[in-house]
């Protein structure tokens, strides 16, 4: 049984979901292959899209948010717009040749672009191929409305009514959660996790800014360092080497454990009482699976703002703002005897630690 996983390198979340799914499929008797769709079709287009995403989200976030909102609000006007036109004109032959070459039993899309391509070309390949798309945020991104595939993998059943309103048939919606790496389904006691990390067994904050270290992390960390509350900080800078270098030279009042890019985030989450993070769909799904309360800073306008709305409205964390700074959020969390336990209860209700396993079962069930 062969599964083709189609992704797009606009942001790291789509690739990480594809990688997590590919790994568990391979460990469960499937042949799996991950393909960056735009890279396969045209590397120049792929680099342009990736750089455009990074530029707009990091340096022009308000503009990105306005464009996202406009696409979401006026999706009916976009049905025959630029993305579908490009898929028809430039990418049809290359995409069909990819499917013919790989001969998959199932195709799973971790981004809406390849799902759009599948929809446009579905009369050109074997209809016995099971097709599915993974919604990687706690909202339905623009253009999923124009796809026609067999299954839509969504983060939670509480989003189903929103998704149905956008025109997706309810019998095609599978709210099994965003697929995450299997280690996030395993829980270590905080003391054990801290022992693994070789850090003191005391109250711990995990501070992350995504793979690129987005957000005003330095300002956040310095504000927390001045708090008259006892805790240590695990700081993950991601690929932001400039931030890592700057923080490595800083003098802190508190105990600080500084990391660049880390491959043991699952252990760090287990070692922590709370995470301060930008609200990416994958990171928040991992934190939910670990039962970890969240404090959200600097969401990218658009999909991450929708993530915050869903997550805060369902009680799994707090959102920092100008009038509710990060130090106030942390102070409330540690000083209110009831708040942490209430948040953890909500986190347990919302978490989907077995999402990746459940998706594998769904694929196996639907391969003919």
Q: What is the CA radius of gyration of the chain?
A: 21
Do 215 and 303 lie in a common domain? Answer: yes
Region 110-121: mean pLDDT is 86
Do 150 and 192 lie in a common domain? Answer: no
Do 240 and 157 lie in a common domain? Answer: no
Using pLDDT thresholds of 50, 70 and 90, give the confidence band for residue 18: very high
Do 32 and 59 lie in a common domain? Answer: yes
Q: pLDDT digits over 159-174, tens only?
A: 999 999 999 999 999 9
Do 223 and 150 lie in a common domain? Answer: no
Do 136 and 193 lie in a common domain? Answer: no
Closest CA to 226 of 250, 242, 210, 246: 250
In the chain, the number of structural domains is: 2
Instruction: Count Cα neighbours of 7 within 13 Å in the Cβ-side half-sphere.
Output: 22
Longest dimension (CA), the chain: 65
Do 25 and 76 lie in a common domain? Answer: yes
Do 174 and 313 lie in a common domain? Answer: no
pTM of the model: 0.86
What's the pLDDT at 57? 42
Do 115 and 190 lie in a common domain? Answer: no
Strand order across the 173-174 sheet: 31-36, 2-7, 106-109, 130-134, 151-153, 173-174
- Residues with Cβ < 8 Å from 294, sequence gap 6 or more? 274, 275, 276, 277, 279, 284, 287, 311, 316, 317, 318, 347
Range(s) of the domain holding residue 72: 2-180+354-366
Do 337 and 359 lie in a common domain? Answer: no
What's the pLDDT at 14? 82
Helix (H) / strand (E) element for 6: namely: strand 2-7
Q: pLDDT digits over 65-114, tens only?
A: 444 455 455 554 554 455 555 554 555 667 778 888 889 999 999 998 88
Looking at residue 82, which CATH number applies to its domain?
Answer: 3.40.50.2000
Q: pLDDT digits over 205-220, tens only?
A: 999 975 444 557 888 9
Do 132 and 26 lie in a common domain? Answer: yes
Evaluate whether 221 touches 277 at the Cβ level (below 8 Å).
no
Do 48 and 88 lie in a common domain? Answer: yes
Work out the number of other CB atoms within 10 angstroms of the CB of residue 70.
Answer: 13
What's the pLDDT at 93? 66
Dihedral (CA of 234, 236, 242, 245) sign: positive
């Amino acid at each position: 049984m062969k599964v083709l996983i189609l992704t797009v390198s606009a942001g790291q979340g789509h690739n990480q979901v594809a990688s997590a799914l590919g790994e568990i499929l391979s460990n469960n008797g499937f042949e799996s292959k991950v393909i960056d769709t735009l890279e396969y079709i045209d590397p120049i287009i792929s680099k342009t899209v990736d750089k455009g995403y990074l530029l707009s989200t990091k340096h022009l976030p308000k503009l990105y948010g306005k464009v996202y909102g406009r696409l979401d609000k006026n999706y009916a006007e976009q049905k025959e717009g630029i993305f579908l036109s490009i898929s028809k004109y430039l990418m049809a032959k290359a995409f069909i040749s990819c499917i013919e070459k790989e001969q998959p039993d199932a195709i799973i899309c971790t981004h809406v672009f390849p799902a759009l391509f599948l929809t446009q070309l579905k009369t050109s390949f074997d209809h016995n191929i099971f097709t599915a798309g993974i919604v990687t945020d706690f909202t339905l991104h623009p253009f999923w409305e124009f796809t026609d595939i067999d299954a839509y993998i969504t983060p939670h059943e509480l989003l189903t009514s929103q998704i149905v309103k956008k025109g997706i048939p309810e019998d095609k919606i599978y709210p099994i959660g965003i697929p995450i790496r299997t280690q996030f389904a395993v829980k270590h006691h905080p003391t054990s996790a801290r022992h693994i990390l070789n850090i003191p067994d005391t109250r711990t904050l995990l501070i992350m800014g995504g793979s690129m270290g987005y957000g005003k992390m330095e300002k956040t960390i310095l504000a927390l360092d001045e708090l008259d509350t006892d805790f240590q900080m695990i700081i993950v800078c991601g690929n932001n080497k400039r931030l890592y270098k700057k923080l490595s030279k800083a003098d802190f009042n508190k105990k600080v454990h500084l990391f660049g890019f880390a491959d043991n985030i699952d252990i760090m989450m287990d070692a922590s009482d709370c995470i301060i993070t930008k609200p990416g769909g994958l990171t928040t799904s991992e934190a939910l699976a670990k039962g970890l309360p969240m404090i959200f800073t600097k969401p990218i306008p658009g999909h991450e703002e929708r993530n915050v709305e869903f997550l805060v409205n369902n009680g799994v964390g707090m959102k920092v703002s100008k009038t509710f700074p990060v130090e106030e959020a942390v102070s409330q969390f540690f000083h209110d005897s009831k708040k942490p336990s209430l948040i953890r209860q909500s986190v347990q209700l919302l978490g989907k630690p077995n999402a990746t396993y459940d998706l594998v079962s769904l694929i196996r069930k639907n391969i003919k």
